[in-house]
Amino acid sequence: MAGHSKFKNIMHRKGAQDKKRSALFSKLSREITVAARAGLPDPAMNARLRAAVIAARGQGMPKDNIDRAISKAAGNDGVNYEDVRYEGFGPGGVSLIIETLTDNRNRTATNVRTIVAKNGGNLGASGSVSHSFERLGLIVYPAKAGSADKVFEAALEAGADDVQSTEDGHEIWTAIDGMHETAKALEAVLGEAEAIKLAWKPGLMVNVGEADAGQLLKMIDALDDDDDVQTVWGNYDVSEDVLAKL
């Protein structure tokens, strides 16, 4: 965890380690297939699919895997995935939004609830924490895309609402309805983004101390390891000093 940018602290997700790459590719493939089924199987004509393909490329997913996931959408394998969101609380009083893609609501609900409860948290009703987050578009670029000034100027010209740059990369926030237009404008200046997606931006961050940080990160890792969980968003901020002690 050490060295993670604020974005990666907010959206704790699987890294690219070899032991986890297969599971990560499986989740990316699922999102690509669902996106292709929800619209046209052409990234140029399907905004969600384009975002999913960009995310897969950003994680090093081979082109053959991406093509197979898109082709799978045309088949009738009897598996239908749906988006299900869970909201709740973790150690230290942090708020969590857990996004899943599942073909079995009962299984997913049981698994998510069990993981959260075993790690000092609890799930709430729909809307119990999302009111303190803002639903926005998020465009992510690696640090090599340019300096903070260059990215800020490009984002401003492209119509973005906010930019957060660290040594690890750049997070560009936009209104949902302008996300893909902004992304196209940025691509002309900065190249292809690392990720383009709908995101939950917290309104107020919670600083998590050493007493709660270990259990919180254990919870998020366990959620991340569940096949049905796509993304975990939270309003937690764990300092580098605390991370170094874990």
Taking only the tens place, the pLDDT of each residue in 187-241 is 999 998 988 889 999 999 999 999 999 999 999 999 999 999 999 999 999 888 8
Q: Distance (Å, rounded) from C-alpha 55 to C-alpha 28?
A: 8
Domains of the chain from N-terminus onward: 6-72 (1.10.10.200), 82-131+205-245 (3.30.70.980), 132-202 (3.30.70.980)
Distance CA 185, CA 157 (A): 8
171-187 pLDDT, tens digit per residue, is 999 999 999 899 999 99
- Give one DSSP letter per residue of the chain, joined into a string: -TT--HHHHHEE-----HHHHHHHHHHHHHHHHHHHHHS-S-TTT-HHHHHHHHHHHHTT--HHHHHHHHHHTTS--S---EEEEEEEEEGGGEEEEEEEEES-HHHHHHHHHHHHHHTT-EEE-TTTTGGGEEEEEEEEEEGGG--HHHHHHHHHHHT-SEEEEETTEEEEEE-GGGHHHHHHHHHHHH-S-SEEEEEEEESS-EE--HHHHHHHHHHHHHHHHSTTEEEEEE-EE--HHHHHH-
pLDDT, average across residues 4-27: 60
User: What tens digit of pLDDT does each residue of 62-82 get?
Assistant: 999 999 999 988 776 667 889
The per-residue pLDDT for 3 is 32
In this predicted structure, the answer to whether residue 2 has a pLDDT above a threshold of 60 is no
Q: What DSSP designation does 199 have?
A: E
- At 14, is the pLDDT very low, low, confident or very high (cuts 50, 70, 90)? very low
